[in-house]
Each structure stands twice: as C-alpha cells, then as structure tokens.
Structure 1
Amino acid sequence: MNFLEDASDFEVYFTIAVLVGIAVSFSPIMRRLIGADKIKMFSWENYVNQQHKKLDWIIRISAIIAMIVLWAIQMSVFEDGGGLKWYLGAPMALFLMILFTETLRIYMEWKHSENRQNYKATLLDLVFLLFLTFICLSTGLFGAFEFGWQN
C-alpha cells in the first residue's frame, strides 16, 4: 500500500483531507441511520451526567500528566543514545486517552442514556476511529511518511 510513496505534496494533503472528511462525516451519518441523538461536534457539553463529566476530566488530566512524564522518559532515553520509542510518544498517550474517554462514554450512554441507540453509535464511532488509525499508522499514510520510530 505505498501508492503515496512518490506523491507530490498536493496528493498527500488531498489524501489527508479525504480521510479527515470521511472521519468527520462518519459519525453524523451513522447516528442518523441508526436513530441516535445528534451530538455537537467539538463541544464541551456532550456529557451524559455529572459523574461522566468528572470521570472524563480525570482521564484527560491523567493523560496530560502521562504525556509530560512520557516526554521526560523519552528525552532521557534519547540523551543516552537511544532512539525514539513509539510507545513513549505523546501520540500514544493521546490515542489511549481517546480510547478511554470514548469507552467511558459508551458505558455511560449504555447505563444512563434514554436513547439506547446512543451507545451503539458511539461504539461504531470508536471502532471506525481505531480502524482508520490502525490503517494510517501501519501503512505510514499509505507510504507517504516514514515515522522514524524504533522498537
């Protein structure tokens, strides 16, 4: 899957724009198809209840602390002559934060939401996001990038 290996900047940016467009439009389309409630995109008001809000912020603050700690560990490994480790990077902490917050959202919607379709839509969103992330990272965006990580 290296069709972007020798691609121009425009082709790479166009591919990124298409992938972002697909990722952004998936949730509203899927929510409409299965009858789930609409959610505001990029809003801070998408909490099921106060407990969900508290737990979500605990996860977010923990992720920020983890990013800082992982950055310090990564820099000490790098200064000792080691290479960059993919599992110590901020993207991994961000990915785990999204995974945990969305899993919390799925649980809260399953347990407390009036519309039973909401948790199904969020679960589909999470599975689609995981699939898209795996495909893009495992192929280096279809051959466009070399990440330079070491195992």
Structure 2
Amino acid sequence: MEETAYFTSPFEWMLGLPAFFVVSGLAIFCINWILRKILGVKRKKWFSSEGYFVNEFHEKVERYFRYGSVVLYIVFLFVFGFEQGSIYFVLFTFLLSAPQELFKVFLEKKHAENPNDYKFTLLEYPVSIVIFLTCAVTFTPEIFNLFMDELSSIFSN
C-alpha cells in the first residue's frame, strides 16, 4: 500500500519570513523599551532628525556615513555582481553600521543631555544583532545556513 505524499513547495522557507520579521521586530522593540526604562532614556521620534543628532557636527558626519555607505554598496554590487553581491551587501551592512554607532556613542558621551544616552546606544546595536541572528536561525534556518555557507566560502578563499 502506497502512502500519500504531500506536495512540498521549494519555497517553504518563505513561510518563516513573516514570523522572522514580526518576532524579531517585536523582540527588539520590547528589549529597547526595557533598556529605555532601566536607563531613563527618552525614545526618539521615528523618521525624524529631531533629537537624533547630538549637534550639527554629528548630523554632518552621519550624512557622510550614509552617502558613503550607499556609494560603497553600489560599487560592491557592480564589482561582485548582483548574484554574489547579496552576501556582501548583508555583511557590509553589519560592518558599516558598527563604526557609525560607535561614533554616535562617542558624541553622546561627550555632548548628550542625558548621561545614559550613550549607554543605551552602546547596548542597542549588539542586542539587536543577537536577536536578529537568533530569529534568523529559528524561523529561517535554510536561509541562515545558506548565508553561513556563502560566508565560509568567502573566508576560505
């Protein structure tokens, strides 16, 4: 007697994407809320530069970071190609955002009104990455394994 085989789609990995985005977004939001309460830091408005920048110098340097990142992304996509360039894009995003956040921490420590602003910024980035990676492994293991395989092939060459 033959067993009934159910149809499996080659795109089953896509079912975990909505859960990945929702859970990682909610977890980051909740952890940031808890950190803000503990440190007594005010939440900055979304999509507003008001309160985000410590001073005009900070705003100017942030622009250089952002525009420089866009230029580097475009160069990397053309140098490594759009197929292989996607892995570099993700890796590059993590690598470029670290100095940007450290610069923000430096200026907040020196110039912010609240002495705990820099502590929140210093904790926010690594905690968000840990949550992001944990949710990636949990909800989209196939994509995460593919990413790790490509990453290991880059560093083994």
Alignment match, 2:72: 66
Alignment match, 1:115: 114
- For residues 130 and 107 of structure 2, the distance between their equivalents in structure 1, rounded to whole angstroms, comes to 23
Alignment match, 1:29: 34
- For residues 48 and 117 of structure 1, the distance between their equivalents in structure 2, rounded to whole angstroms, comes to 13
On the 8 A contact 2:65/2:100 being kept in 1, the answer is yes
**Structure with larger Rg:** 2
On the 8 A contact 1:59/1:100 being kept in 2, the answer is no
Q: Deviations over 1:85-121 (max 9, x none)?
A: 676x222222233222211111111011121111111
Q: Which runs of 5+ in 2 are unaligned?
A: 1-11
Which amino acid in 1 is paired with 2:141? G
On the 8 A contact 1:60/1:97 being kept in 2, the answer is no
Q: Which runs of 5+ in 1 are unaligned?
A: 1-6
- For residues 114 and 144 of structure 1, the distance between their equivalents in structure 2, rounded to whole angstroms, comes to 45
Alignment match, 2:8: none
Counterpart of 1:101 in 2: which secondary structure? helix
- For residues 8 and 86 of structure 1, the distance between their equivalents in structure 2, rounded to whole angstroms, comes to 18
Question: RCO higher in 1 or 2 (8 Å CA, sep ≥ 6)?
Answer: 1
- Greater helix share, 1 or 2? 2
Alignment match, 1:57: 63
- For residues 8 and 94 of structure 1, the distance between their equivalents in structure 2, rounded to whole angstroms, comes to 23
For this pair of structures, how many residues does the alignment match?
138
Alignment match, 2:89: 90
- For residues 22 and 135 of structure 1, the distance between their equivalents in structure 2, rounded to whole angstroms, comes to 11
Identity among equivalent positions (%) equals 23
Q: TM-score, normalised by structure 1?
A: 0.74
Change in 2 beyond 3 A, CA 1:11/1:73 = closer
Which amino acid in 1 is paired with 2:117? N
Change in 2 beyond 3 A, CA 1:24/1:16 = same
Q: TM-score, normalised by structure 2?
A: 0.72
Alignment match, 1:143: 141
Which amino acid in 2 is paired with 1:58? Y
Alignment match, 2:6: none
